[in-house]
Structure 1
Amino acid sequence: MDKNFAFLIVTGAPDHTEFGIDLLAINITQEFRGVKFIPQGVHFVYASSKDQYGNPSVSRSGFIHYFKNGEILVKEWNRENEELQNRTKGDIEEEKKRIRENLKNLDRFLAIYDYENIGKWKNLTNTLTEEAIKRMSPEAGIIRNEVEFKSCPDKDRPRGNATTPIRNVKIRSVDDESMYLPNMEVISETQPKYSKLPERYNQFSSPSEKTFNNVDTINIIDKLFNEISTKSNLLEELQFSFIVYLCTLSIESLSHWRQIVSLLCNSEQAVEKYKPFYRHFVNIIRHQIPEIPIEFIEQSSTNTIYIDIKSLLRNLELNDCKDISESLQKHLDDTISWTFDDLLEEDPEDLPQIVEIDT
Structure 2
Amino acid sequence: VGFVHHFTRGEIVVREWDHEKEELRHRVHDNVEEEMAKIRENLRNLDKYLAPYDYDRYTAWQKLTGNITQNTVSRHSPDCGVIRNTVELLSCPDEERPRGQVITSPRLSKIRALVNDEELLPNLKSIPGTAPKFTTLPLRCPKDASPADVSRHHMDCIEAVDLLLSSREKKYRIFYRNYLTVLQYQLPELPIELMEQTQSNTVYLDVRKLLLNCYQAGLTSVAQTLEKSLKGSLLWKFEDLFSEDPDDLPTVVEL
Q: TM-score of the superposition, structure 2-length normalised?
A: 0.88
Which residue in 1 is equivalent to 2:168? 230
Alignment check: 8 A CA contact 1:301 1:307 kept: yes
Secondary structure, counterpart of 1:330 in structure 2: helix
Structure 1 residue 339: Cα displacement: 1.4
Judging changes above 3 Å, is the alpha-carbon distance between structure 1 residues 100 and 209 closer, same or farther for their aligned structure 2 residues?
same
The within-5 A match list for 1:275-290 is 275-290=173-188
Deviations 1:123-159 (A, max 9, x none): 1122211121111110010000111111222222223
Residue in 2 that maps onto 1:69: 9
Asked if residue 308 in structure 1 is aligned to residue 248 in structure 2, the reply is no
**Who is 1:120 aligned against?**
60
For residues 229-286 of structure 1, give each alpha carbon's deviation from its aligned partner in whole angstroms, at most 9, with x where no partner exists.
4239xxxxxxxxxxxxxxxxxxxxxxxxxxxxxxxxxxxxxxxx72222111111112
Contact 1:198 1:220 in 2 (8 A): yes
Output the CA distance in 2 between the equivalents of 1:85 and 1:355: 68
The residue matched to 2:5 in structure 1 has which SS?
A: strand
Match of 1:350 in 2: 248
* C-alpha contact (below 8 Å) 1:200/1:210 kept by paired residues: no
Three-state SS of the structure 2 residue aligned to 1:288 is helix
CA distance in 1 between partners of 2:217 and 2:108 (Å)? 48
Q: Quick check: 1:75–1:85 contact (8 Å CA) kept in 2? A: yes
Structure 2: gaps (5+ residues): none
SS at match of 1:122: helix
| CA distance 1:179–1:327, shift in 2 (3 Å) | same
CA distance in 1, matches of 2:86, 2:134: 15
How many residues are aligned here?
255
TM-score by length of 1: 0.64
Name the aligned partner's letter for residue 88 of structure 1: V
Alignment-mate amino acid for residue 188 of structure 1: P
Give the strand-richer structure, 1 or 2: 1
The residue that corresponds to 2:108 in the other structure is: 168
The residue number in structure 1 matching 2:189 is: 291
CA RMSD in angstroms, aligned pairs only: 2.6
Aligned positions of 1:206-217 closer than 5 A:
212-217=152-157
Alignment partner of 2:2: what SS?
strand
What is the DSSP-based 3-state SS (H/G/I as helix, E as strand, rest coil) of the residue aligned with 2:187? helix
Q: Secondary structure, in 3 states, of the residue corresponding to 1:221?
A: helix
AA matched with 1:86:
H
**2:6 partner SS:** strand
Superposed displacement of residue 346, structure 1: 0.8
Structure 1 unpaired stretches of 5+: 1-60, 233-272
Please list the CA deviations of residues 192-239 of structure 1 after superposition, one character each: whole Å capped at 9, or x if unmatched. Answer: 11111123347866676566545432121012224xx4239xxxxxxx
User: Measured at CA, do residues 160 and 317 of structure 1 come closer, stay the same or move farther in structure 2, by a change above 3 Å?
Assistant: closer
Residue from 180, 188, 191 that aligns with 2:120:
180
Deviation of the 1:355 alpha carbon:
5.1
Aligned partners of 2:165 and 2:172 also within 8 Å: no
Overall identity of the aligned pairs, in %: 43
Distance 1:176 1:202 in 2: 22
Counterpart in the other structure of 1:333: 231
Is residue 138–residue 188 contact of structure 1 (8 Å, CA) maintained in 2?
A: no
What one-letter code is carried by the residue in structure 2 that aligns with 1:161?
Answer: Q
CA distance in 2, matches of 1:282, 1:93: 43
| Structure 1 segment 52-201 matched on structure 2, within 5 A | 61-163=1-103, 165-172=105-112, 176-201=116-141
